[in-house]
Amino acid sequence: MHKGKFGTAINCMDGRAQMPVNDWLKQKYLLDYVDTITEPGPDKMLSQGIPAQVESIKSRVLISVNAHGSETILIAAHYDCAGNPVSKEEHVKQVKECIKILHSWNLPVKTIIGAWINENWAVEIVQ
Ligand SMILES: [Zn+2]
């Protein structure tokens, strides 16, 4: 049975962040659905969190990859993040660190993307 094409977004819990990322991913990678893993400031949590926090994110990514066959993972940071109130430069640094971590998990995926959601709630590719 065809379930549809899934992608995975590791995104902020901030309600302003999800629609831009999900719409962008669907359009760019022709996805039907985006599994969304939300945390307050996920770029900080994945790059600097305690092992239990990182494992929690990883376990959810694995469900998306293994059960839904996602081949596209995006980690997002955004403008005006209350969960991780640092400069854009710092967010970008953390997103790049997250990309390294995601690659180190050796997931069977095609694409790992880092994104910055800017003050207009538009998606910019970090890497
Ligand atoms: Zn946020």
Q: What confidence tens digit (pLDDT) does each residue in 99-127 have?
A: 999 999 999 999 999 999 999 999 999 97
- CA atoms of 123 and 88, how far apart (whole Å): 13
Distance 76 CA to ligand 1 centre (A): 9
- Assess whether pLDDT exceeds 70 at residue 12: yes
The 10s digit of each residue's pLDDT in 37-80 is 999 999 999 999 999 999 999 999 999 999 999 999 999 999 99
Cα 37 to ligand 1 centre (Å): 13
pTM: 0.96
Question: Please, which residues have CB within 8 angstroms of residue 91's CB and are 6 or more apart in sequence?
Answer: 43, 77, 78, 81, 84, 116
Q: Give distance in angstroms: CA of 1 to centre of ligand 1.
A: 36
Phi, psi of 74 (to 5 degrees): -125, 135
- Tokens standing for 56? 């929690």
Closest-CA residue to 46 (of 121, 100, 120, 88): 100
Helices (H), 1-127: 18-29, 42-48, 51-68, 88-104
Cα–Cα distance for residue pair 114/107, rounded to 1 Å: 16
